[in-house]
Amino acid sequence: MPQNLLEQLRKYTVVVADTGDMQAMEEFHPQDATTNPSLITAAAQMPQYQPIVDSVLMDARNGLGEGATDKAVANLAFQRLAVAFGKKILEIVPGRVSTEVDARLSYDTGKTIELARSIIRQYDEAGIGRDHVLIKIASTWEGIRAAKVLEKEGIHCNLTLLFGIHQAIAAADAGVTLISPFVGRILDWYKKDTGKDFHGADDPGVQSVTRIYNYFKKFGYKTVVMGASFRNIGEIKELAGCDLLTISPQLLGELEKTEADLPRKLDPEKAKAMPIEKIHVDKATFDKMHAADRMASDKLKEGIEGFSAALEKLEGLLAARLAALESRTPAAV
């Protein structure tokens, strides 16, 4: 009996759910799950998750006291909400959940470290082992420096918003656990810049992840590669064999419904035999390569601004929800 693409993909690659919707996770049974501020914002507005949101809000209010402003409570609540969703997600997935540091701290190494420690402390207090949690940090130079410190403390990191080989090498040199190169966002940039469409192995996002994967395997890095941000299943098929792929419920459904042969495209043994040149990436090299890579520069900036905007929106929603809760009688709450 022929197997669908999702079943075959799982033979080569760890499948991760790119969603905050726990019902979707229960449907597709991924090994891991990853979220971002946009996904948490969307999930927080779903009726089935209102009890989680309300509980986090009232805990934050009680923690800060009655004198705290709604904005201050909302800021604390969003930090705790991602962990609250993470804990629920880990009741479903057997592996790891990625929880993101505030994107507005992407260029502040010290504050990124401080918030990451706060996040992992919440998981520690819930009795969740650190092997089940990845702290997501934007792949700025400052974010990568923070991740290097955290990894030495046994706090595993997922370097996100990654678009260029310089970001990938710097992260691997820092000893991070995992990187998330954004396939679809790279494709979006090239389509807009060139006016062309790209398919299959010609997709610039696919080519970027393939180059990173082969580089890591060639030089024996322990950092694993998780392709992210897919626009179609064609991109996923071209990256079969990548260490991990994080996929939206829509594309997981499409893979599950499609029966066709899925050959492995990325292979560590083949990568080891490739003639790849080693690149030393210090801060000066990172800055030079980043400035020269218009796509990586544009998409990193855009990604940080987008996640920051999603956080601002979430804080606004939480402040409004808090006001609504506090306007009710105790019995109604």
Average pLDDT over residues 221-240: 98
18, 305, 42, 10: which is closest to 184 by C-alpha? Answer: 18
pLDDT of 44 above 90:
no
Which helix (DSSP H) or strand (DSSP E) does residue 100 occupy?
strand 97-100
Structure confidence at residue 149 (pLDDT): 98
101 three-state secondary structure:
coil
210, 240, 243: which is closest to 226 by C-alpha? Answer: 243
Cα gap 264→330, rounded to integer Å: 58
Q: Are 300 and 161 in contact (CB under 8 A)?
A: yes
Which alpha helices (DSSP H) does 126-159 contain, by range? 141-152
pLDDT, greater one: 328 or 289: 289
Structure confidence at residue 96 (pLDDT): 96
Average pLDDT of the residues of the chain:
94
pLDDT, greater one: 75 or 200: 200
Which helix (DSSP H) or strand (DSSP E) does residue 80 occupy?
helix 70-89
Structure confidence at residue 252 (pLDDT): 96
247, 225, 223, 250: which is closest to 236 by C-alpha? Answer: 247
Look up 136 and say whether it is catalytic: yes
**Torsion angle in degrees (nearest 10) through CA of 297, 298, 300, 305:** 140
Distance of CA 269 to the CA centre of its chain: 27
Cα gap 22→249, rounded to integer Å: 10
pLDDT tens digits for range 17-43: 998 888 899 999 999 998 787 888 888
Strand spans (E) along 229-327: 244-247
- Token pair of 4 as six digits: 């669908």
Structure confidence at residue 277 (pLDDT): 97
Phi and psi torsions of 134, nearest 5°? -120, 135
Q: Please enumerate in sequence order all residues whose Cβ is within 8 A of that of 40, keeping only pairs 6 or more positions apart, or say none.
A: 20, 78, 81, 82, 85, 310, 314
Distance of CA 265 to the CA centre of its chain: 23
pLDDT tens digits for range 274-315: 999 999 999 999 999 999 999 999 999 999 999 999 899 999
Cα gap 140→301, rounded to integer Å: 10
pLDDT tens digits for range 68-96: 888 888 888 988 999 999 999 999 999 99
pLDDT of 332 above 60:
no
Which domains does the chain possess? 5-327 (3.20.20.70)
pLDDT of 329 above 60:
no
pLDDT tens digits for range 104-161: 999 999 999 999 999 999 999 999 999 999 999 999 999 999 999 999 999 999 999 9
1: pLDDT confidence band, cut at 50, 70 and 90?
low
Which pTM was predicted? 0.93
Q: Are 94 and 132 in contact (CB under 8 A)?
A: no
Which member of 87, 136, 218, 237 is catalytic? 136
Structure confidence at residue 83 (pLDDT): 93
2: pLDDT confidence band, cut at 50, 70 and 90?
confident
Average pLDDT over residues 3-9: 96
333: pLDDT confidence band, cut at 50, 70 and 90?
very low
Cα gap 286→289, rounded to integer Å: 5
Cα gap 214→276, rounded to integer Å: 8
